[in-house]
């Protein structure tokens, strides 16, 4: 059984998750900084904060550069799904009038409704 510690999201800087994803994908602080349009020292400080938050090194120095820790490898696919879901949540829904099946009700004075609706209905026939 896995026991998880309770996390107060208000105490976590969620902006760091974008940096974490880029770090785990690139496995390189400088490349991540360039792709995020940030300075290398800023990304390095973010990595320090992320290591503290996750209580894990996340990126481990090897002879070939950096590699993911076991926790980092576990986090990456979950983080990608999370950020994709957040993007979808925030993205503006696309309205396609050709496929819309909603009901539209028009209210107004009789003469105005007849004048308006006649030209609208002609556009659909």
Q: Which domains does the chain have, with CATH numbers?
A: 1-125 (1.10.10.10)
Averaged pLDDT, 38-51:
97
The pLDDT assigned to 105 comes to 83
> Does position 123 have pLDDT exceeding 90, yes or no?
no
Length, in residues, of the chain: 125
> Does position 68 have pLDDT exceeding 70, yes or no?
yes
> Does position 119 have pLDDT exceeding 80, yes or no?
no
Q: Is the pTM of the predicted complex or chain greater than 0.85?
A: no
- Give the helix ranges, DSSP H, for the chain: 16-26, 29-36, 40-54, 70-90, 110-124
Bridge partners (DSSP) of residue 65 are 62
């Amino acid at each position: 059984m896995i026991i998880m510690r309770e996390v107060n999201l208000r105490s976590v800087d969620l902006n760091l998750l974008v940096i974490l994803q880029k770090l785990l994908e690139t496995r390189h602080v400088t490349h991540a900084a360039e792709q995020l349009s940030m300075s290398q020292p800023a990304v390095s400080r973010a990595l320090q904060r992320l290591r503290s938050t996750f209580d894990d090194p996340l990126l481990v120095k090897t002879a070939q550069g950096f590699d993911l820790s076991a926790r980092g490898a576990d986090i990456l696919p979950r983080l990608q799904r999370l950020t994709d879901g957040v993007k979808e949540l925030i993205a503006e829904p696309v309205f396609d009038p050709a496929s819309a099946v909603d009901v539209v009700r028009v209210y107004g004075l009789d003469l105005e409704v007849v004048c308006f609706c006649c030209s609208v209905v002609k556009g659909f026939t």
